[in-house]
Structure 1
Amino acid sequence: MDKLNFVLIHGAWGDVSQFEKVADELRKLGHTVHVPEYPGHGELKDKNVTHEQITIAVVDYIREKDLKNIVLLGHSFGGTVVATVAQQIPNRIDRLVFTNAFVPLDGQSVSDQLPPPAQEAFKQLADASGNNTIMLPFPLFRDAFVNTASLEEAKAMYRRITPEPAGPLYQKLDLKKFYSLQIPKSYLNLTEDIVLPHGDYAWHTNQSSHLGFFRYIEGHGDHFTTFQTEPKMIAEKFVQAGRP
């Protein structure tokens, strides 16, 4: 089996701990795994950040470690980071993997990918926050983000999330170069993930179709829970998505 060099990019309301168990399973299989943190998340607590700052942080991490031949994988909001990072260092990347990830078209934002009621709800939360952040109400988190979890598991995961910087979610992204790149792409779809509801706004085939030609990998699981409860299965799906 080919040994892969993963760089894993978490999404909104997440931090590097999301991938700890999956990274351990990937390393047991002999793969190299890097999980960079980026501004506004984890220990980098300043929420006044831009999408450009997030991109630069990941690009700098990859350059400083001189990582090459990487499988660059983004989850959720991390899909937009994968796309903007790829524009800057395409020669270091062997494959891009989008895991229930946003894939905006050129000139679009993450917010543009959401159903109108969700756009309005998030705008109200950001406006009410006082610092342009969005904190998920627990009922939304429980039913959309961790819908396969027990109530106890859901409460434990909810205690770990922090308000998400709203600015990067509303930035219109220049992705012209991304859509001209010839880097192979994969889309991994966990079928119980209903953060984007099934139908016109679904992860697959709405977001995935923006990629054009791509490898499709499917598994079960929701947006957050399965990374913690079934890391070995998720690791195997990452390998299927990332292999040459």
Structure 2
Amino acid sequence: MNEALNYVLVPGAWHGGWAWHPVGQRLRAAGHNTFALTLPGLTMGDDPTGLRLADAVDHVVAEVERRDLKNVVLVGHSYAGIPITGATPRLAGRLAGFAFFSAFIPRRGESMADAMGPELAGYLRGTIEASPQGTISVDFEQFRAMLLPDAPEPLQRLVFDQLLPQPGGYMLDAPDVDGVDVLGLPITYVLAREDQGLAAPGAELAARVGVEPVLVPGSHEALLTHPDEVASALLGQWAW
């Protein structure tokens, strides 16, 4: 029997660790350990003012080190491809590999805002600057159309009600590190077939780390609507 892995699950923009719970339960049932993180500013009651990408990266590193985890698979959904990439050089000796689920794969010096193109980047910067706490939110119509179009409205509203404003610095700052592929560790890129919420085509993003995407059913929130398939795909690289 293979040694149990420590899956460290990092959520996308506006989400908390709760978004990974259905998948995490299934990874645990397969014999592994799971740790679902919530980035600073994204727990109800947090003050998101002034948070930068460095704070998100520091949090991922600190949580792994605090638990003294080894044999770690860093897993990022959506936006979280950026902070887990940023954390990689500081955690290299603890890592077994990486898994991305419908995630953005940043290039060095490329922020989430940059990846969305000049027009949308300008909108993001303007909105963040105008926000009293320096955050960016998503409204219900944007959420249901781009992130969860394949679910009934009651479920859409239930998930939407969990979301919190994203600290603006998370979107505007760019990582200044090499990609995760430089370590030569296993990488899995899992892509929801009907995903409409990515800043670039999923196959193109997967190619940035030299892999082909593993397709699963569902949209951007398939970690909630199709957790069996997402968990199975994440386990595939490290099958028992």
Query: Residues of 2 paired with 1:25 and 1:132: CA distance?
Result: 36
| Residue aligning to 2:229 | 233
| Residue aligning to 1:221 | 218
Amino acid at match of 1:7: V
Q: TM-score, normalised by structure 1?
A: 0.89
**1:14 corresponds to 2:11:** no
**1:24 corresponds to 2:25:** yes
Alignment CA distance shift 1:166-1:215 (3 Å): same
| Residue aligning to 2:111 | 109
Deviations 1:155-213 (A, max 9, x none): 1111111111111211122023756322222211111111127xxx21222x22221x2
Q: CA RMSD in A?
A: 2.1
Q: SS of the residue aligned with 2:155?
A: helix
Amino acid at match of 1:209: A
Q: SS of the residue aligned with 2:213?
A: strand
| Residue aligning to 2:74 | 72
Amino acid at match of 1:26: L
Alignment CA distance shift 1:24-1:230 (3 Å): same
Q: Equivalent of 2:173, from 171, 174, 194? A: 171
Amino acid at match of 1:210: R
Query: Residues of 1 paired with 2:61 and 2:169: CA distance?
Result: 20
Q: Percent identity?
A: 25
Q: SS of the residue aligned with 1:119?
A: helix
Alignment CA distance shift 1:91-1:43 (3 Å): farther
Deviations 1:21-62 (A, max 9, x none): 211121112111111222111257121211111111111111
Query: Residues of 2 paired with 1:44 and 1:209: CA distance?
Result: 38
The farther-off stretch of 129-138 and 169-178 is 169-178
Given that 2:60 and 2:84 are in contact with CA atoms closer than 8 Å, whether structure 1 keeps it comes out as no
Query: Residues of 2 paired with 1:140 and 1:177: CA distance?
Result: 30
| Residue aligning to 1:210 | 208
Amino acid at match of 1:9: V
Alignment CA distance shift 1:44-1:216 (3 Å): farther
The farther-off stretch of 227-236 and 104-113 is 227-236
| Residue aligning to 1:36 | 37
Amino acid at match of 1:35: A
The farther-off stretch of 119-128 and 169-178 is 119-128
Deviations 1:70-106 (A, max 9, x none): 1111111111111111111101111111111111111
Alignment CA distance shift 1:118-1:195 (3 Å): farther
Query: Residues of 2 paired with 1:223 and 1:181: CA distance?
Result: 28
Q: Which runs of 5+ in 2 are unaligned?
A: none
Given that 1:22 and 1:234 are in contact with CA atoms closer than 8 Å, whether structure 2 keeps it comes out as yes
| Residue aligning to 1:4 | 5
1:242 offset after TM fit, Å?
4.7
1:69 offset after TM fit, Å?
0.9
**1:63 corresponds to 2:75:** no
Query: Residues of 2 paired with 1:134 and 1:175: CA distance?
Result: 25
Query: Residues of 1 paired with 2:22 and 2:145: CA distance?
Result: 23
